[in-house]
Structure 1
C-alpha cells in the first residue's frame, strides 16, 4: 500500500499492508526476448499518464514491462466483437455504483429485484448483482488466532500459531507506540501553529525551547521533506487503521467477528446466511474489491481513472467473502461455487493466508469449477516468501504434490521498471508454486465513491491476468479453461534479466522464480488463442 514515507521514518518488522483471427504473418513477440536486455530502457521517473496505465504498455515499444494490452486492442481486436464474459470477483465487496464500473456490473437475469423471493431457486434471495457471504461483518481474526481460540490440541499447528501470535502482537504493540508518537507530534505541531494543514516551511520556522516540541519538529521536518502534509495525513490514517486493526480485531483473542453473521463457519452445509448487499456494511470496506474489479473492468478511454483490461467484454459478478482479517474457508468455497453456478467463466481471488482449517472445502470448490470449465486465478501473496518452501492458501498444489486441477493460475507481481528490481519487493515467488508474473505495483484503479487510487500487491497482479483471460474467453469462447491457462503461461515473454526476490534480496534469473519464467503478454496470448481456436 502507501506507507513508504512513514515506514522509512518509523520502520518496525512486520508492518506490511495487505495489502481476433491471427494471420500467419504476425509474430509472437515483436522484440525477441534475447534482445530485450540490450534495449535502451527508460530510466528515472515514469510520466504520470504512463504510470496510471503502465500495465497496458509494451516492453518492446515502450520499454516498460507491461502486458501489451494496448497493442492487442489496436493490432488484433480493432473492429472485432467478442461475447460478454462473466468474471466472478471474490473479494471484500465492490462499489457497484461507481461511475467507472456501473456499465460492467453483472445483473442476475433470473432474479426480480426487491421482491424478497428466490426467483431462480439458487438458494439466494434477491441476489441481483452477486452475494455477500459476510453479511454485516466487517472485521475478523487471523486464521491462526481462531485456531488458538479453539484451545490447545497438542498439535504442531497450535504451537506454531501461538508463537506467531506472540511475535505479531509484540510487533503490533510496538507499532501502536510509534503511530501514537507520530500522531502526538502532528497534533503538537498543529496546535503550536494553530493550523492543521501546515507546511515544511511552517515547521522550520518554529522557535521553541520545549524539548518535546523540538523532537516533534525534527520528526515532522524529516517527514515533510519527503511528502506533502496532505499525503502524510492520508498515510498516517492508514497506518493507524492498520495498527489498531491488528490489535483490536486481527490478533484479539476476545474479538468475535463472526457472531453478527449468525452461521456456523465450521459447517459447510449451513448455507442460509449473508445478504445481497455486495458493497458491504461500510462502503470504505469495499476499497480492495472495488480496485480489483476496476483493473478488470473500469471503462476504457473515457478520461476517468485508469483503463480496464477487458472492460467492454465483461460483466463483474460481486462475491463478498473477504473481511478485514483472514477469510473463512467456508465463505471462499461457497463463493467460488456461487460464481460457477451463476455463469462465471473466470474467477479472481485476490486473497490468501498461511493457515487453513478446511482447505479441502476450497479444493473441492476448485475442482467443481474445473468440472464446469471455469478458470480460477489467485494472487500469490505479499510476504516476499518462496512458496516452494511454505504453503499459502488457497492454491492448487501443496508440499510439492501434483496440482489438484488444471484450471488454476497463481500470479506473482512485477514493478513498472525493467531491471533487477522488476519483481515487486513484496511479491511471493516460487519456481514450482507461482505460475507467472504480471503488473502489481503502483496500479491505478477505481476505489469507492467515484474515487481512484494507486494500490499495490499480488492482489492487483491477479486481476490483470483475469482481464487477459476474460479477453481470450470473449473472443475465443470455444477454448477451455485449461487451454486458456496454457495459453497465458506459454505466450508470456521470457526474460533473462537477473532480479532480486525475497526479504534477503536474493539474486536469481527471472525465469527461476515461476513455473513459466515469464510475464503475461495479452498480445501474444490472443495470437496464440487464435491459432489454437482454429485447430
Structure 2
C-alpha cells in the first residue's frame, strides 16, 4: 500500500523515522526517515506490505528560549495515493526509484517520473512497436519474452524470406554485424529493453515503463564495443520498413572541440548518411530517441553523435541523465541541443543506478547508470503516449515532452526544456492533443482549456498556467486567493503570447450589464466581480462585450470574488533573456541565473512585506546551537549586510534576537548548517571552523548562507566552465584557493533584486 506520513505545524525541530516490526527477530527494522532542518514539515512516503509499523517522532532541538510543550500535527494518507496510482506487483519494483522514488536510493523523496500516476491512465502499449538499436536483447528472458516483437509474416527457421523484406527468418529482429537473424544477448541491450518494456504486473522481477509492448531487437554491436555507421543506418531503415513506431538508440560517441558544421565539412558523406537515415524515420512518423552521451561534455564545444542531429532533424529527441536528487548527472553530456532529461542515476553509488533486466547468464537483474538508461525511459513513455494517440507525429511528441516536463532551475542551460520527464502529464496531454496547442500565434478556446486545467494553488502568487489550477467542473477555479494580503495573479507570456508588457491592459467590470455596455474595447482582460470570472477579451475589434461565446474566453473563476484591480494582475515575459541589472559586466543572463524565491518569499511575509528586514548576528553564540565568532568575522558579516543594503532593494536594521526577522550564526555541527524557516522568520547557520587558517572559508560560508537566504539561486556543479566563477558567490568552488575578496557579487545583487521584485 502506498502511504504518506506528514508532520506539520511544528514549533521546534522534529524528525521522524518509520519502523516495521520483524516477527522473526522480534525487533523493529528501520524503513525510512525524514530529517529536514528547523521546523520545516517532515514527510515520509513508502510502499508498505502488511504488518505492524511505528512512526517515531524525535525532538531534536528547540527554537525558543522558553521551556514550553512542543506542539505539532501528524497525519497520514493511504486513500488518496491508492486512488491516484496504479502499482505493479513485480517483486523488484521497489528497487526502481526512477519509477517511484520513496527514498529507497537515499535520494530526494518523490524525485521520479510519476509512472504510477501515468499507469492509472495508460499502463500498456500492445499496439506499439519499439525498435531497440543496441546490443542484442536476451529474447528468452522471463521478464521480456512476452514483450518481444514477432514478425508474423515470417515462418521461423525455414530458410526463406517469407515476407520478402530482404531478411531471412527475421523473427525478432536482426543481427546487422553478422548479417544473421540470431541476436547475441548483451548486458547493455537487455538492460535497455527492460527499462522500456519489462512485463509489468506479472509477479516477476521488475516493471518496464510500458507493461505490454513489442520490442524489436536490432543488434549493431555483436561482440564489439563500437558500431559501424552503415549498420546503424541499415537498422534504422529496417525498423521503419517493418513497422516500428519508436526507435531507441542508446548509442553514440563524443568528439571534443568539434561542431556539427565542422563534421559536415570534414566528413560530408557520413554527415549525409546520418541526415538521410534519421529523416527517413521522422518523415514516416517514427519517433527517434537517443542518449546525449556520457562524456560530461557541453554541446557548445563538443560533438555528440548521433545526439547532435537533434538540432537539424525535427522531432529527433536526445536525452540527458539526472540523478535521484534531480541534478544533472556527473557524467551526462548537456547543452542547448539536448531535448529533455530523465533519470540515469549516479556513477558514484550502486543504489542510485537504474535497475532493470540483464541476460540470464548475468544474473537476470541489475543496475547501470548512464544516458543510455535515460533514453529508454523516454522511449517507454513515448510508447504509452502513442498508444493513447497513434496520430502523434515526432514533432508533436517532442513538444508535449517539453511542455509537460518538470521544470527545474538547476537544469537550465543543461537541457533545452529546462526539465525532466513527467510521464503522467505527457500521457494525459497526448490523449487530448491537437496541433493548435503548440501554435503560439493563436489564442483560442482549446489553448485555454489545455492551459488551465492542471495542478493546485497553494501559494500566494498564482500563475495563470497549467501548474496552478485544480479541476473543478468545466472550468478551473483559483483557490486561496486573498487580495487583502497583496496576492497577485501572474500571467505568463508563454500562456497568452499575444500580450506584451506595453500592450497589456485590464478593465474591471462588476456585473454582466457592464460587460454588455462596455464601450472601451482596448482591454485584454475583463473581470466580472459578481461571478468572480476573469475573461480574455476576444471581442476587441467591435464595440462592447458580447455575452455570446464569453464562456469560451473564461480564463479562471476566482472563488473569493475579490475586487480585482490592475495592480493585482501583472504580466511576466518569461521568454526575456536580457538582464534586469544595470551592472555593465554581468556574465550570467537573467534567464539562466534567476533568484530563488523560496526563502525570500517566506522572509518577505515574516518581515512585514515592506522590504525592511530586522537582522541579528549571533556573534556570541547564545542562540540556536550557534558558536561564538571572533570580531573579524562579526565585522565581515556586518559589512556584508551594509553592502546588501546599498546595492539591493532591501533594507537591514540590527535588532535584538527577540525582534529579528533574520538570524545568522556560526555552526560547528553540520545538522545546524543551512536555512530554517521559523515561526518568526529565517534562521541561517553557516559552517564554521575555529582554526585561524580557515578565516577566509568562514567568510565565504557566512556570505553564502546569507545570499541563499535572500534569494540567490545555487548554480550546479556543471556551471564550471560555462559561467565566470568570479560572477556569483553561488558558483565559487569550495577550495583552498578562495581569494580574500570572496563575497556577494554584483550578479548576486541582481539575483536578489529579481527574487524580491515579484513581490512588488
Q: TM-score, normalised by structure 2?
A: 0.41
Distance change in 2, residues 1:49/1:116 (3 Å): closer
1:41 to partner: Cα distance: 7.6
Q: Please give the per-residue CA displacement for 1:254-273, whole angstroms capped at 9, x wherever unaligned.
A: xxxxxxxxxxxxxxxxxxxx
Equivalent residue of 2:384, what SS? helix
Which of residues 189, 193, 202 is equivalent to 1:293?
Answer: 193
Q: Please give the per-residue CA displacement for 1:278-334, whole angstroms capped at 9, x wherever unaligned.
A: 2x2xx4xx110000000011111234322100122x100000013532211101111
In structure 2, what is the equivalent of residue 315 of structure 1?
Answer: 214
1:395 to partner: Cα distance: 2.6
1:118 to partner: Cα distance: 1.0
Distance change in 2, residues 1:373/1:457 (3 Å): same
Partner Cα distance (2:117, 2:98) in 1: 12
In structure 1, what is the equivalent of residue 118 of structure 2?
Answer: 72
Structure 2: any 5+ residue segments left out of the alignment?
1-39, 46-90, 256-262, 346-352, 437-760
Q: Is the 8 A contact 1:69 1:523 kept in 2?
A: yes
Q: Is the 8 A contact 2:98 2:354 kept in 1?
A: yes
Partner Cα distance (2:236, 2:41) in 1: 43
Structure 1: any 5+ residue segments left out of the alignment?
1-37, 136-273, 497-508
Which of residues 457, 473, 476 is equivalent to 2:386?
Answer: 473
Describe how 1:378-527 pairs up with structure 2 within 5 A.
378-397=290-309, 403-418=311-326, 422-430=327-335, 432-441=336-345, 442-449=353-360, 451-496=364-409, 509-527=410-428
Q: Is the 8 A contact 1:64 1:416 kept in 2?
A: no
Distance change in 2, residues 1:379/1:42 (3 Å): farther
Q: Is the 8 A contact 2:174 2:217 kept in 1?
A: yes
Distance change in 2, residues 1:105/1:429 (3 Å): same
Which of residues 222, 241, 259 is equivalent to 1:341?
Answer: 241
Distance change in 2, residues 1:111/1:413 (3 Å): same
1:486 to partner: Cα distance: 1.2
Describe how 1:254-273 pairs up with structure 2 within 5 A.
none
Q: Please give the per-residue CA displacement for 1:370-404, whole angstroms capped at 9, x wherever unaligned.
A: 11100000001111111221111113538xxxx32
Q: Is the 8 A contact 1:350 1:378 kept in 2?
A: yes
Equivalent residue of 2:433, what SS? helix
Describe how 1:99-110 pairs up with structure 2 within 5 A.
99-110=142-153
Equivalent residue of 1:397, what SS? helix
Partner Cα distance (1:405, 1:66) in 2: 29
1:97 to partner: Cα distance: 0.4
1:533 to partner: Cα distance: 4.7
Partner Cα distance (1:454, 1:395) in 2: 24
Distance change in 2, residues 1:72/1:332 (3 Å): same
Partner Cα distance (2:373, 2:125) in 1: 24
Describe how 1:44-63 pairs up with structure 2 within 5 A.
52-57=95-100, 63=109
1:530 to partner: Cα distance: 2.1
Q: TM-score, normalised by structure 1?
A: 0.58
Partner Cα distance (1:117, 1:413) in 2: 43
2:252 corresponds to 1:352:
yes
Q: Is the 8 A contact 1:478 1:533 kept in 2?
A: no
In structure 2, what is the equivalent of residue 225 of structure 1?
Answer: none
Equivalent residue of 2:342, what SS? strand
In structure 1, what is the equivalent of residue 432 of structure 2?
Answer: 531
Q: Is the 8 A contact 1:396 1:405 kept in 2?
A: no
Distance change in 2, residues 1:457/1:50 (3 Å): same
In structure 1, what is the equivalent of residue 225 of structure 2?
Answer: 325
- Name the structure where helix makes up a greater proportion of residues: 1
Describe how 1:270-289 pairs up with structure 2 within 5 A.
274-278=179-183, 280=184, 283=185, 286-289=186-189
Matched residues, number: 327
Q: Is the 8 A contact 2:156 2:169 kept in 1?
A: yes
2:291 corresponds to 1:362:
no
Q: CA RMSD in A?
A: 2.6
Partner Cα distance (1:302, 1:353) in 2: 36
Distance change in 2, residues 1:51/1:360 (3 Å): farther
Describe how 1:3-402 pairs up with structure 2 within 5 A.
52-57=95-100, 63-74=109-120, 76-77=121-122, 83-135=126-178, 274-278=179-183, 280=184, 283=185, 286-312=186-212, 314-323=213-222, 324-354=224-254, 358-397=270-309
Q: Please give the per-residue CA displacement for 1:198-222, whole angstroms capped at 9, x wherever unaligned.
A: xxxxxxxxxxxxxxxxxxxxxxxxx
Partner Cα distance (2:147, 2:92) in 1: 24
Q: Please give the per-residue CA displacement for 1:479-498, whole angstroms capped at 9, x wherever unaligned.
A: 222211211121101012xx
Q: Please give the per-residue CA displacement for 1:334-388, whole angstroms capped at 9, x wherever unaligned.
A: 1111101100010000010135862321221100001110000000111111122
Distance change in 2, residues 1:515/1:529 (3 Å): same
Q: Is the 8 A contact 1:412 1:436 kept in 2?
A: yes
In structure 1, what is the equivalent of residue 669 of structure 2?
Answer: none
In structure 2, what is the equivalent of residue 172 of structure 1?
Answer: none
Higher Cα Rg, which structure: 2
1:526 to partner: Cα distance: 1.2
Equivalent residue of 1:391, what SS? strand
Partner Cα distance (1:126, 1:66) in 2: 40
